[in-house]
Amino acid sequence: MSMLETAGSTGTTTAPVESLTRRERVVLAELAEDVTLEEIATRLFVTRNTVKSQVRSVYRKIGVSTRSEAVAWAVAQGIR
């Protein structure tokens, strides 16, 4: 089984939850909250740039390009 699976007819790809690191899952769950990247960084004791990098990695792995798409994916996967 490949790391990426095709989802629906939209041509987007989604990765299984297991392909995300533990920190990426934490950041993804935080994205579902009504907080800024700066607030997420403060909560996780990292810089905003670190959070931005982790968010980009999550988006790439799950095949989305917006925060709302990432949150919807997380909800569908039971992360949030």
Mean pLDDT to the nearest integer, 13-33: 88
Evaluate if residue 28 carries a pLDDT over 50: yes
Q: How many Cβ atoms sit within 10 Å of the Cβ of residue 77?
A: 16
The CATH number linked to 18 is 1.10.10.10
Confidence of residue 39 (pLDDT cuts 50, 70, 90): very high
Domains of the chain: total? 1
Q: How far is CA 76 from the centre of its chain?
A: 12
Evaluate if residue 15 carries a pLDDT over 90: no
* Buried residues in 4-40 as b, exposed as e (16+ CB within 10 A): eeeeeeeeebbbebeebeeebbbbbebbbeeeebeeb
Q: Name the percent of the chain lying above pLDDT 90.
A: 71
Q: Name the percent of the chain lying above pLDDT 70.
A: 82
> Measuring CA to CA, which residue among 42, 39, 44, 11 is closest to residue 25?
44
Stretch (H or E) spanning 77: helix 67-77
Instruction: Provide the pLDDT for residue 79.
Output: 85
Give the domain range for residue 58.
5-77
